[in-house]
Amino acid sequence: MKVDLNKVVSIHYTLTDNNGTVLDSSAGREPLAYIHGMGHLIPGMEEGLDGRTTGEKLNLKISPEKGYGVRDERMVQEIPVSAFGGQEVKPGMQFEAGSDEQRFIVTITNIGTETVTVDGNHPLAGVELNFDVELLDVREATEEELAHGHVHGPGGHHH
Q: Can you tell me the distance from the alpha carbon of 111 to that of 101, in angstroms, rounded to the nearest whole number?
A: 28
Question: What is d(CA 62, CA 128) in angstroms, rounded to the nearest whole number?
Answer: 6
Nearer to Zn ion, 40 or 148 (CB): 148
CA-CA-CA-CA torsion sign (158, 156, 30, 17): negative
Choose between 71 and 152: whose C-beta lies nearer to Zn ion: 152
Alpha helices per DSSP H over the chain:
43-49, 143-148
| Closer by beta carbon to Zn ion, 57 or else 157 | 157
CB of 158 to Zn ion, least distance (A): 9
Buried b (16+ CB within 10 A) or exposed e, 70-101: ebeeeebeeeebeeeeeeebeeebeeeeeeee
Position 40 contacts Zn ion (CB under 5 A)? no
Number of residues binding to Zn ion, judged by CB under 5 A = 2
Q: Which stretch binds Zn ion (CB under 5 A): 12-20, 51-59, 121-129, 150-158?
A: 150-158
Scan residues 120-149 and list those touching Zn ion (CB under 5 A). Answer: 148
For the bound state, the minimum distance from the C-beta of residue 141 to Zn ion, rounded and expressed in Å, comes to 11
Least separation, in Å, of the C-beta of 149 and Zn ion?
8
Binding site for Zn ion (CB under 5 A): 148, 157
